[in-house]
């Protein structure tokens, strides 16, 4: 009995953390909007910055990068999740860049036929700032904790969310280049992109939602913390 409890406990903790994540995304509670206004990080802004969507003729595509800061913000809203538990989760994911993709073809009457995971996997890559490409890890290259993470997270999305989320495909890429550089850091200057066939979804970093806003010293406009210059008057912004 003790052995069974020791095996099940991590999964219960992670499941609780993922439920908190979904609450923060606004999929399960309207109270999130009011709560996030009191939080230092605007969760809705963070989700918008980490998601890229393309709705071209006959296509509907979502590419979602989930940086480790997303887990910190999410778990921080749930008092039952300790800081140590959050750090354990982040430690498991730190060797990877997590990308979630939904890719579908829209029919003449609005019905969507979603591409299977195998088809998306064959065409998806990450490109770093230096132009180096990276392919997603196959499942046999993932460690046991990471496999458990995916096995828990996928059913939660399927059970709680709509048809689009039921067709989410999860891909893990290396977080570092061959020379040890971090490919994507949400709070540091940089850039990377996700290549999906001929399409490219690009992120410029840092993410403004994670940084304190800047005030233009000349025109006094409030600017994103990720900007170096005021978009209204061109004045360099102070850190």
Half-sphere exposure of 173 (CA within 13 A, CB side): 28
Half-sphere exposure of 193 (CA within 13 A, CB side): 14
Lay out the sheet containing 199-205: strands in order across: 133-134, 124-127, 190-196, 199-205
Q: What is the pLDDT of residues 120-172, one digit of tens each?
A: 999 999 999 999 999 999 989 998 888 888 887 777 666 655 556 678 899 99
Q: What is the pLDDT of residues 159-213, one digit of tens each?
A: 655 556 678 899 999 999 999 999 999 999 999 999 999 999 999 999 988 888 8
Q: Given a cut of 80, is residue 56 above it in pLDDT? A: no
Q: Tokens 């996997």 correspond to what residue? A: 121
**Whole-number pLDDT of residue 109:** 82
Cis omega before residue 206 (within 30°)? yes
Q: What's the 3-state SS for 156-182?
A: HHHHHCCHHHHCCEEEEEECECCCCCE
Sorting pLDDT into bands at 50, 70 and 90, what band is 97?
A: very high
**Whole-number pLDDT of residue 231:** 87
Query: Hey, is 75 helix, strand or coil?
Result: helix
**This prediction's pTM:** 0.78
- Cβ-Cβ contacts under 8 Å for 18 (sequence gap 6 or more): 152, 153, 156
**Whole-number pLDDT of residue 162:** 58
């Amino acid at each position: 009995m003790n052995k069974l409890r020791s095996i099940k406990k991590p999964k219960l903790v992670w499941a609780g953390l993922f439920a908190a994540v979904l609450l923060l995304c606004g999929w399960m509670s309207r109270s999130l909007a009011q709560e996030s206004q009191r939080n230092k990080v605007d969760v809705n802004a963070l989700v918008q910055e980490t998601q890229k969507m393309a709705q071209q003729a006959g296509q509907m595509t979502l590419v979602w990068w989930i940086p480790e800061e997303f887990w910190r913000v999410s778990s921080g809203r749930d008092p039952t999740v300790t800081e140590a538990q959050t750090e354990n989760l982040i430690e498991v994911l730190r060797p990877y860049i997590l990308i979630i993709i939904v890719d579908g073809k829209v029919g003449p009457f609005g019905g969507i036929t979603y591409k299977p995971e195998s088809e998306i996997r064959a065409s998806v890559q990450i490109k770093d700032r230096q132009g180096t490409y990276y392919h997603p890890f196959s499942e046999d290259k993932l460690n046991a904790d990471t496999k458990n993470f995916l096995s828990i997270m996928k059913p939660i999305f399927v059970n709680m969310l709509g048809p689009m989320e039921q067709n989410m495909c999860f891909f893990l890429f290396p977080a570092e280049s061959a020379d040890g550089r971090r490919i994507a850091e949400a709070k540091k200057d940089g850039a990377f992109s996700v290549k999906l066939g001929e399409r490219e979804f690009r992120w410029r970093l840092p993410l403004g939602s994670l940084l304190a806003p800047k005030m233009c010293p000349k025109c006094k406009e409030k600017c994103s913390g990720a900007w170096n210059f005021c978009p209204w008057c061109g004045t360099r912004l102070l850190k």
